[in-house]
């Protein structure tokens, strides 16, 4: 069955109070790329944070930047968002999990075809930068299978993602080993040159 995103999820339903107390962790649009989140900026109070620090999100939500969709500033929140505040440059998509598996909706929103379509809309905007509106996200439509099939697809994708993550960790370890060995080899070479020069 075909659904619009606005039928599957609520958009931008929560904002932080300007009078909120305590430390906050702020995530702007540049801190999210292709599903990966960089470390958030820490502020001692909401009053110290940028004025765009207003959106609230929770685990299971998707955040997608309204500016330059082709930059792929989109991410799925699979972490505890207590004390986290997001930029108003995001649309926060809060799915109805009875209809759509949250990560499945993220996968649809992050498809290349979705990104290209949103970029086309953005390039017709009259704003300073190519951008989309909340309604543009809400009006996206997708064929949605039964929830059981969605879960099977998500399970398979998650397994692949775990393998990718493991391979990345292996590659990072190999790179670090390579750097260490290179450093040792260079130092040994310098020692040999020094010894020969002293003869």
Q: For residue 15, give the CATH number of its domain.
A: 3.90.220.20
Domain extent for 163: 146-199
Yes or no: say if 105 and 9 are a contact pair by the CB < 8 Å rule.
yes
State percent of the chain over pLDDT 90. 73
| 157: exposed, middle or buried (Cβ count in 10 Å: 0-12, 13-18, 19+) | middle
**Same domain, yes or no: 130 and 151:** no
**Same domain, yes or no: 73 and 129:** yes
**Same domain, yes or no: 128 and 162:** no
Last residue of a domain, one of 108, 123, 144: 144
**Same domain, yes or no: 98 and 33:** yes
Start-to-end CA distance of the chain, whole Å, equals 84
The pLDDT of residue 197: 54
**Same domain, yes or no: 89 and 175:** no
Range of weakest confidence among 37-46, 71-80, 123-132, 188-197: 188-197
Structure tokens at 77: 């929140």
Cα separations in angstroms, 153 against 74, 144, 171: 20, 12, 27
Q: What is the DSSP letter of 40?
A: P
- If one counts the domains in the chain, the total is 2
**Same domain, yes or no: 199 and 126:** no
Last residue of a domain, one of 117, 144, 171: 144
**Same domain, yes or no: 168 and 114:** no
**Same domain, yes or no: 20 and 76:** yes
The pLDDT of residue 192: 58
**Same domain, yes or no: 140 and 178:** no
pLDDT reading at 103 higher than 60? yes
The pLDDT of residue 187: 77
The torsion angle over the Cα atoms of residues 133, 35, 76 and 120, rounded to 10 degrees, is 20
**Same domain, yes or no: 95 and 19:** yes
Structure tokens at 152: 């099977």
**Same domain, yes or no: 164 and 100:** no
Of 21, 25, 38, 15, nearest in space to 90 by CA? 15
Cα separations in angstroms, 36 against 40, 72, 107, 165: 12, 10, 13, 12
**Same domain, yes or no: 29 and 66:** yes
What are the tens digits of pLDDT across the range 13-72? 999 988 888 999 999 999 999 999 999 999 999 999 999 999 999 999 999 999 999 999
| 25: exposed, middle or buried (Cβ count in 10 Å: 0-12, 13-18, 19+) | middle
pLDDT reading at 114 higher than 90? yes
């Amino acid at each position: 069955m075909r659904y619009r995103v606005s039928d599957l999820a609520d958009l931008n339903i929560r904002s932080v109070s300007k009078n909120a107390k305590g430390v906050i962790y702020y995530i702007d649009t540049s801190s999210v790329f292709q599903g990966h989140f960089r470390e958030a900026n820490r502020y001692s109070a909401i009053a110290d944070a940028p004025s765009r620090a207003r959106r609230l999100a929770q685990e299971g939500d998707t955040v997608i930047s309204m500016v330059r969709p082709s930059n792929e500033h989109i991410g799925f929140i699979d972490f505890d968002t207590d004390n986290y505040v997001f930029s108003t440059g995001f649309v926060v998509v809060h799915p109805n999990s009875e209809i759509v598996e949250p990560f499945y909706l993220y996968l649809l929103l992050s498809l290349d075809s979705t990104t290209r379509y949103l970029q086309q809309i953005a390039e017709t905007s009259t704003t300073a930068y190519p951008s989309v509106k909340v309604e543009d996200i809400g009006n996206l439509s997708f064929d949605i299978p039964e929830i059981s099939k969605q879960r099977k697809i998500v399970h398979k994708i998650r397994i692949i993602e775990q393998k990718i993550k493991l391979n990345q960790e292996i590659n990072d370890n190999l790179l670090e080993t390579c750097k260490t060995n290179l450093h040792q080899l260079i130092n040994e070479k310098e020692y040999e040159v020094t010894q020969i020069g002293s003869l």
